[in-house]
Structure 1
């Protein structure tokens, strides 16, 4: 698949099964993430990979956060099971660095670009992915359990694996005129 087709046919795949990207395929995904736009060469991101039992540990800490918020048993269980929906979950973390020319927002956007690059690199290799978010990204207990430092922020959970069913049909195109204006 050429690059332009990959961008135009980008899609999220919520039903993922084994195998997950491994070896050279996973390294390609990580290298794509590390090639994200990075003003100043700050490398303002890092990734926590959760596979195997790591997905269960991630689920347990998400469930603990839900319990801490007073969520009901269904919501707690849903978060406990969430990382098991894919064989590999990458927690994408922005690592903001105090810099006179590169504001924190720009560094967080760079981490977001890294997350998208992961998903695109997975799709280019025949895998699937979905970028998930939610209130747990901002929960101090989740940050502490993952060992995040002050100034670090989760920008998403990128679920990766093999699509359970093939994607069929072309992606719906939006009318660009509805989103563009000229100055």
Structure 2
């Protein structure tokens, strides 16, 4: 395959272990230029990204630990530590938020656009040499996490992109290898005969 974009897409993989390097804001803005043209019915741009670096990541961990507890309740210290550790597994977290911007278009379609934007950003980061893993889970729907991001009832947190440098092995090679992919033919079909 000689098309660089298709090669990047075919080699993309989630990188769960990253080092402490991360793209700066200028590099992120440059990569986002490739995301903005995502397929988007009516051009609503029904998504936003929230960047977390340094101690901002701890606020994510605290909100995850708080979960659905009442504001007057405090999570146990070990819970807080557990979620803070999860939130700091990468030097850069990017929250992906789908914001419903129109009642005329289905909610699922607007969430699909936000997912598409997130995946394009993930591809752009990977192509630029960064390790990326999209993490989500039940914590995205908890009261404390929704409050952290100021989400309206119609909005949905789709998860976080965890971003960092790809560590090198002792022999100087990158630790990522392309994964074996399924045969694409299994995903193609035709309408049944009448």
Q: Which residue of 2 aligns with 1:130?
A: 133
Q: Which residue of 2 aligns with 1:164?
A: 167
Flag the structure with larger Rg: 2
- For the residues of structure 2 that align with 1:53 and 1:71, how far apart are their CA atoms? 19
Matches within 5 A, 1:1-183: 2-65=4-67, 76-100=80-104, 102-165=105-168, 166-183=174-191
- For the residues of structure 2 that align with 1:148 and 1:50, how far apart are their CA atoms? 17
TM-score by length of 2: 0.84
Shift of 1:28: 2.2
Stretches of structure 1 lacking an aligned partner (at least 5 in a row): none
Deviation readout 1:14-55 (Å, 9 max, x if unpaired): 111221111432112322332322111001000111101111
* Superposition RMSD in Å: 2.3
Contact 2:13 / 2:178 at 8 angstroms: preserved in 1?
Answer: no
Deviation readout 1:127-159 (Å, 9 max, x if unpaired): 110100100111132111221223110012111
Structure whose residues are more often helix by fraction? 1
Secondary structure at 1:164's aligned position in 2? Answer: coil
Secondary structure at 1:156's aligned position in 2? Answer: strand
CA distance change for structure 1 residues 169 and 47 in 2, over 3 Å: closer, same or farther? Answer: closer
- For the residues of structure 1 that align with 2:120 and 2:12, how far apart are their CA atoms? 11
Contact 1:137 / 1:155 at 8 angstroms: preserved in 2?
Answer: yes
Shift of 1:4: 0.4
CA distance change for structure 1 residues 94 and 114 in 2, over 3 Å: closer, same or farther? Answer: same
CA distance change for structure 1 residues 137 and 95 in 2, over 3 Å: closer, same or farther? Answer: same
Number of aligned residue pairs: 182
Shift of 1:84: 0.5
CA distance change for structure 1 residues 54 and 76 in 2, over 3 Å: closer, same or farther? Answer: closer
- For the residues of structure 1 that align with 2:12 and 2:177, how far apart are their CA atoms? 12
CA distance change for structure 1 residues 3 and 21 in 2, over 3 Å: closer, same or farther? Answer: same
